[in-house]
Structure 1
Amino acid sequence: MASMTVQKTERPPSGPTDVLKSDGEQPKDPGKARFRATALTPYLLLLPAIAGTLLLLGWPLVNNGLISFQNLNMRQFILHLTEWNGIDNYKDVLGDEEFWRVTGRSIAFTAINVVLIMAIGTLVGLLLARLGKKMRLLLLFGLVLAWAMPIIAATTVYQWLFAQRYGVVNWVLAKLGWSSMAEYDWMGGQYSTFFVIITLIVWQSIPFVAINLYAATTTIPKELYEAAALDGADAWKSFKNVTLPYLKPFLFATTFLEVIWVFKAFPQVFAINEGGPDRLTEILPVYAYIEGFGNQHYGMGAAISLLTIVILLSLSFYYLRLVLKQEEDEL
């Protein structure tokens, strides 16, 4: 009887459980790989911004920190000498009464500006919500022009406006009957100089607050105002119970941004009068610049600038804590 050879045919795989690699391992699930790629996408998109931030802000901050621990004046700078002096610069700064006077002045300056900016900006934003279409467009156009003007250009305009002999402000005041203001020197005193600077900063900042607040009011459902009117609520109650709760997150965030922006308002203060008269209008950024570059104490200036960052972060943290605490109390 002839022998017969029986060939065993392989059964094709019927499902995922039958598909095996030659080494016996299960293949990777394409769904998991796709999910992993999707999860990593936001971080990959953030990489260019993070790299740019580290390059443009991180390294200068580290370099500034290294300089703050050095005795770096013009001699060391020219001869390329590195003289480490530990925390002597910080001791000298923190032990100087002038630093604490400038710090208190900076905090008061920031508080006054932020209160005026938020109050006037909020009123202008609410006015935009009430105006008709044509008047709203006209006011928005004026706000955008004020907002778009470069800082130094706006500062130069204000220097002309408040000039002692040919300034428009003195001319208008003299025409209105205040003849003693005909040649008033606005830059000759501490408070008058601060008045000009505060007016400039408030004028530059109002458009940001007003336009964003108006945009926030457009998100409030009109049905809420109709329901409030049916309940007999007047304009103030409608604002208090409907408008204000919707605008609170915006007001908190905008106040936080304005604190940061005003606290580091170097261009306006320096360009108006370089911190004068007699250095009485210096705030911390101007004080750091004058001590560092003006007096050629670069290590001292670096220490002041880092302390300025610490103070700003402390103020920001304190404000955020108040906001979070208030939100918790409302829940």
Structure 2
Amino acid sequence: MSAQIDQVTAEPVTRTGKGGAPPPRRGRAAAGLPYLLILPAGVITVLLLGWTMVKNGLLSFQDLNKRQLIRRVTEWIGVDNYSDQLSSSDFWKVTFRSVLFTAANVVLIMALGCLIGLLLARLGTKLRLLLALGLVLAWAMPTVAATTVFQWLFAQRFGVVNYVLDSLGWHSMAEYNWTGSQFSTFFVVTVLIVWQSIPFVAINLYAATTTIPKELYEAAALDGAGPWKQFTSVTFPFLKPFFLATTFLEVIWVFKSFTQVFVINEGGPDRLTETLPVYAFVEGMGNQHFGVGAAISILTILILLALTAYYLRLVLKQEEDEL
């Protein structure tokens, strides 16, 4: 009997297709089909984004102002635009301001978005549908339209916010100018950006929580774990990749936000609320130093690439720890 078992196990197993025929081998055409399918999207991306990046990069090595435009001449100045910005205190002030602004927004977005996402997971069907509908409507509103609405809400004379605060007894806020100082302007912009970004985090977090097996929560409850312990021992470990990916996306989106900051007060007062995208626009289009604006935009992209590299390093380290 043992000899027969050894003989059976020693015989190679031949995979067969239909009717006992060997399975068809994938040719080179079939192996290259996925790349062929993404080729149109890749070509369009290169044409719309890649060529623009190349032109912007070339422009950053030029001295292009009104004089050059009128005379239609190209003056190459090498890396002078970059060296001037890297040695400028204004550039580093704006960069530091952009980092602080991004950090504050991302912390608020992730904290409030995660709380609302966990609330969605605990609500009943009707309340969950109602809250999800409100989140989707807030997220789908165009940025310029939402920014205009917030301008009306925080208007100095006829704004709803000032009217409500005055009605509640805070009479000094009756005609408060929300765009008159750096802090209050950033407050309005932060409220706007957080309001727009929470739906993405909340809905994605709720979708991620539906993939967690309920048996794990039941086992944790049997062990005497409360809500916080269940979150730290069950929910968060499962959602950690989601937290990393979503935080990274929010950092990019907030860091490069332009419309909200510019439309609210155009980087004022006294250019104290300019972030790097607004700073590049004001220097390039406002002051018509187009080469300088292009150089600032390239430096902004390099900062985002550094953040991307750091994120990828965290992801790879996490995968190595799990292995």
Normalised TM-score (structure 1): 0.88
Query: Aligned equivalents of 1:133 and 1:232: distance in 2?
Result: 28
Query: In the alignment, residue 249 of structure 2 is paired with which amino acid?
Result: L
Aligned to 2:143: 151
Counterpart check, 1:182 vs 2:174: yes
17, 20, 43: which one aligns with 1:51: 43
Which among 264, 268, 271 is matched to residue 279 of structure 1? 271
Alignment match of 1:106 (pick from 61, 76, 98): 98
Cα deviation for residue 326 of structure 1 reads 4.7
- Please identify, of 320-329 and 279-288, the stretch whose mean Cα deviation from structure 2 is larger: 320-329
Task: Quote how far apart the aligned CAs of 1:245 are.
Answer: 1.0
Structure 2 counterpart of 1:274, one-letter code: E
Say yes or no: does 1:169 pair with 2:161: yes
Q: Which residue of 2 aligns with 1:299?
A: 291
1:8-41 Cα shifts (integer Å, max 9, x gaps): xxxxxxxxxxxxxxxxxxxxxx945x43222101
Per-residue CA deviation, residues 183-214 of structure 1 (Å, 9 max, x unaligned), is 00000000000000000000000000000100
Cα deviation for residue 77 of structure 1 reads 1.8
After TM superposition, give the deviation of residue 133 of structure 1 in Å: 0.6
Runs of 4+ in 1 over 6 A off after TM superposition: none
Aligned residues: 301
Tell me how far apart the structure 1 counterparts of residues 267 and 213 of structure 2 sit (CA, whole Å): 48
1:110-168 Cα shifts (integer Å, max 9, x gaps): 10000000000000000000000110011001001100100000000000000001111
Measured against aligned partners, the alpha-carbon deviations of 1:78-107 in whole angstroms (never above 9, x if no partner) come to: 332111111111111111110000000001
- Which one is further off, 190-199 or 72-81? 72-81
Larger Rg: 1
- In 1, distance between residues paired with 2:122 and 2:70? 62
TM-score (norm 2): 0.90
User: What residue identity is the alignment partner of 1:129?
Assistant: A
Q: Deviations over 1:209-250 (max 9, x none)?
A: 000100001111111111222222221211111111111111
Paired residue secondary structure (1:42): helix
Tell me the distance in 2 between the aligned counterparts of 1:250 and 1:113: 18
User: Is residue 2:25 matched to residue 1:37?
Assistant: no
Instruction: Name the % identity.
Output: 74
RMSD between aligned residues = 1.4
Question: What residue number does 2:304 align with?
Answer: 312
C-alpha deviations, 1:230-284, integer Å up to 9, x for none? 2222212111111111111111100010011000000100010000000000000
Q: What is the match of residue 184 of structure 2?
A: 192
- 2:240 & 2:145 partners in 1: Cα distance? 34
280-289 vs 239-248, which deviates more?
Answer: 239-248
Q: Which range moved further: 113-122 or 240-249?
A: 240-249
Partners of 2:122 and 2:24 lie apart in 1 by 53
| 2:262 is the counterpart of 1:270 | yes
Aligned equivalents of 2:69, 2:40: Cα separation in 1:
34
Task: Write the letter of the residue equivalent to 1:223.
Answer: E
Separation (CA, whole Å) in 2 of partners of 1:316 and 1:202:
22
- Corresponding position of 1:205: 197
Query: 2-side partners of 1:322 and 1:106: how far apart?
Result: 22
| Cα distance in 1 for residues equivalent to 2:169 and 2:90 | 40
Q: 1:223 aligns with which of 212, 215, 221?
A: 215
Q: 1:5 corresponds to which residue?
A: none
Name the structure 1 match of 2:6: none
Pair 1:237-2:229 in alignment: yes
Further displaced range: 97-106 or 221-230: 221-230
Q: 2:78 aligns with which of 76, 86, 91?
A: 86
Write the distance in 1 (CA, Å) between the matches of 2:59 and 2:243: 38
Give the match for residue 89 of structure 2: 97
SS in 2 for 1:265: coil
Structure 2 distance, partners of 1:31, 1:296, is 64
Extract unaligned runs of 5+ from structure 2: 1-22
